[in-house]
Amino acid sequence: MRYLFYKIGELLKKIRAPLLATASWGAFFVSIASIIFVVYNIGFEQEDVIKSRLYDLYKLALIFFFFLNLLRVAAGLISEYGYSKKGWFTLFFLAVSIFIVFDITIFGQSVNLPFFYNYRFVIAVLLYVSIMEISGTLVKILSKSVHPNLIFVVSFVSIITIGTALLLFPNSTYNGISFIDALFTATSATCVTGLVSVPFSETFTLSGQLIVLFLIQTGGLGVITITTFFAVFFTQGFTVNSEYIIKDIISGNRSSKLISLVTRIITVTIIMELAGAALIYIYTAPHLEMEEWNKIYFSVFHSISAFCNAGFSTMPQNLAEPALVNIGPLYLIISVLIIFGGIGFPIFSNILKITAHRIRQVYMYIRYRKFTRFVREWDMNSIIVIRTTAILIVAGMTYLLLFEWNGILSQFSNEDKIIQAFFNSVTPRTAGFNSIDTSALKAVTLYMVLIFMWIGGAPQSTAGGIKVTTFALMIRNAVQLVRGSDRVEFYGREISALSVTRAFATVVFSLLTILAAQIILVKTNPDIEPLKLFFEAVSAIGTVGLSMGVTEELLPAGKIVITVLMFAGRVGVVTLLSAFIRSHTQNRYRYPGADILIN
């Protein structure tokens, strides 16, 4: 008998891995199917008979997930590694859910919920488990030898595709929407741009606006960041390779711990957005003539849109709405959210670290009269991003006050002119909110806005453009070259030749992409002024969202061009190209050097 149990144990160990792999892939496809059915349920009006049939399918899916997790726990018990606490928790959670759904009596107790609540409870549990399964499978895929740039690009393509399908559902719009406009809006939201080809508040229902808000949040945080968040807390863990790939995509810093990194990103984002929503509500609620729920929704929507640098607004005239233009604190709050979102999490994290160090220094000095100095607190990227961002904001604000004091700013009081100049110096570089009519700006101001949109925000942020680090590096390179130096130096550091090469490539590819897009736009939209089309193209590739009022006038071909530009601007032209071009193998030899005549 003992020998028989031994043989059974050995057999189970042999089939354990293929059995679990097959079950996991089955769970992956069941999860996708479950989400599709739930989305179909939400997106279309259903008859009671159809709802009942869908409810039966949901219950079958729950039973499948329960036995799958039971299998995983059993397989873990017979293995030498055991099974995680997360697996036991999921199994227990599913067991409780099944007791509730099927009204099973245990210890003489049962939970009998009305169908209405039971139906939504099943959907909520199913979505939770499905997202958990999909996240775990995607992380396993990351453990393979896959190019990080390809993963980054595909993740955005996937969420845009899902967003387009969701916006095409009848419940998402009042009177329907074309495929091109749905794709345009989904891309604009996911790539946190803010350009809209249809009147936003008049076209999309509350469900449609929430879908757009979901796309903004997902695109702002990054699909990989959100997937990793679920995988960190609900799955077994990561391989070393997948952990490195994820950190390359979301941070670029392999030395940090992935769990703490993802947790900080999510935590900081939630805190900033909640704080922004609370402040927006405090200052706007007394001025908005709408129901209390709509005031809260307005505050939350604009806080998320601002921090993610999206530029979407629920108001018909964006932030140029007459009820908002005199609320100065609103524009300051949104500007701060835009700046923090546009400098990127690595820089923001460095700021928080330095702030914590400074507070600790003060505390140590007050309590122990001991001063501790921290060496090299600021990293090079933080120095460049913060200083360049400050210079651009001050320069843009001064420029607007100088050239538009008696122009577009003349409608405001002197105090509001300063606030509006600050706000409109911040938004062109990444966000795209508008408190003024952009088409009414003087030509000399439009050129400044174009330059700011092209520059964009910081790397590893929600902003687009060539990035402030690239701009600062190219300016510094030109200055050093004129001075006769053969190297680029920043604040006591020599910048590597590879960084200079990447900056140069980014600028070249950006300009070539804008030029090609402009030619196609002028050809396909001959009735629109070329300058307005050029402004639209730069706004799209910079993921800014400002427009001179021609977005809705674009023909389908023009909307497709702008859609491609928004996508290229969000993922980066160089990243997009390198994702599909095979990496060049580094040769162990070098050719003889040669100088080329430039001038």
SS (H, E, C) 568-599: HHHHCHHHHHHHHCCCCCCCCCCCCCCCCCCC
Which of 250, 272, 259 has its CA nearest to residue 230?
A: 259
What is the SS3 assignment for 56-116?
Answer: HHHHHHHHHHHHHHHHHHHHHHHCCCCCCHHHHHHHHHHHHHHHHHCCCCECCECCCCCHH
Question: What's the confidence (pLDDT) of residue 265?
Answer: 77
The per-residue pLDDT for 234 is 47
**Is the confidence at residue 83, as pLDDT, over 80?**
no
Q: Give the pLDDT of residue 93.
A: 62
CA distance linking residue 24 with residue 60, whole number of Å: 17
User: Which structure tokens are listed for 513?
Assistant: 């992409």
pLDDT band, residue 325 (cuts 50/70/90): confident
pLDDT at 26 over 50: yes
User: What is the reported pLDDT for 99?
Assistant: 63
Residue 465 pLDDT > 90, yes or no?
Answer: no
Backbone angle region of 543, left / alpha / beta, with phi > 0 → left and psi within -120 to 50 → alpha: left
SS3 204: strand
* pLDDT band at residue 109 under the 50/70/90 scheme: very low
Q: pLDDT confidence of 43, banded at 50, 70, 90?
A: low
What integer is the mean pLDDT of 493-516? 86
Is 314 a residue whose pLDDT tops 50? yes
Q: What is the pLDDT of residue 523?
A: 92
Contact of 430 with 335, CB cutoff 8 Å: no
Q: What is the pLDDT of residue 514?
A: 92
The Cα–Cα gap between 409 and 364 comes to 48
Decide if pLDDT at 132 tops 80: no
Its pTM stands at: 0.79
Residue 81 has pLDDT above 50, yes or no: no
State which of 167-176, 478-487, 589-598 shows the largest mean pLDDT. Answer: 167-176
User: What is the Cα–Cα distance from 501 to 304, expressed in whole angstroms?
Assistant: 35
Burial class (CB in 10 A: 0-12, 13-18, 19+), 111: middle
CA distances from 160 to 30, 163, 189 (A): 22, 5, 9
pLDDT-above-70 percentage for the chain? 74
φ, ψ of residue 204 in degrees (nearest 5): -100, 135
pLDDT band with cut points at 50, 70 and 90 for residue 597: low
From CA 457, how far away is CA 311, in angstroms rounded? 14
Q: What is the pLDDT of residues 191-240, one digit of tens each?
A: 888 888 898 888 998 888 988 998 898 887 765 565 555 555 544 454 54
Of the given ranges (35-49, 153-167, 511-525), which has the lowest mean pLDDT?
35-49
Helix, strand, or coil (residue 494): strand
The pLDDT mean for the chain works out to: 78
Domain ranges for the chain, please list them: 2-172+220-268, 377-580
Residue 548 confidence (pLDDT) above 80: yes
Q: How high is the pLDDT of residue 108?
A: 46
| Confidence at residue 80, expressed as pLDDT on a 0 to 100 scale | 47
The per-residue DSSP string of 258-305 comes to HHHHHHHHHHHHHHHHHHHHHHHHHHHGGG--S-HHHHHHHHHHHHHH
**Rounded (10°) angle between helices 573-580 and 497-524:** 100
Residue 4 pLDDT > 70:
no
pLDDT at 277 over 90: yes
β-bridge partners, 508: none
More confident residue, 121 or 322: 322
CA angle in degrees (0–180, nearest 5) for 172-178-182:
55
In contact, 188 and 277? CB cutoff 8 Å: no
> What average pLDDT does this structure show over 4-15?
54
- Which whole number is the average pLDDT over 56-80? 71
CA separation (Å) from 432 to 83, 237, 307, 308, 427? Answer: 49, 39, 12, 11, 5
- Terminal Cα distance for the chain, rounded: 90
Residue 107 predicted with pLDDT over 50: no
Lowest-confidence pick of 39-53, 92-106, 578-592: 92-106
Q: Which residue has the higher pLDDT, 531 or 585?
A: 531
How confident is the model at residue 250, as a pLDDT? Answer: 52
Question: Which range in 8-22, 154-168, 544-558 is most confidently predicted, on average pLDDT?
Answer: 544-558
Does the pLDDT value for residue 372 go beyond 90? no
Task: Output the six-digit token pair for 515.
Answer: 């030029």
Lowest average pLDDT, out of 124-138, 238-252, 402-416, 570-584, goes to 238-252
CA pair distance 124, 117, nearest whole angstrom: 11
Higher pLDDT, 192 or 145: 192
Which residues share a beta bridge with 109?
106
Residue 448 CB contacts under 8 Å (≥ 6 apart), including other chains: 396, 399, 400, 428
Nearest in space to 219 (alpha carbons), one of 278, 138, 307:
307
Asked if the model's pLDDT at residue 291 lies above 50, the reply is yes
User: Is pLDDT of 522 > 90?
Assistant: yes
> Residue 1 — very low, low, confident or very high, per pLDDT cuts 50/70/90?
low
Q: How would residue 5 be classed by pLDDT, with cut points 50, 70 and 90?
A: very low
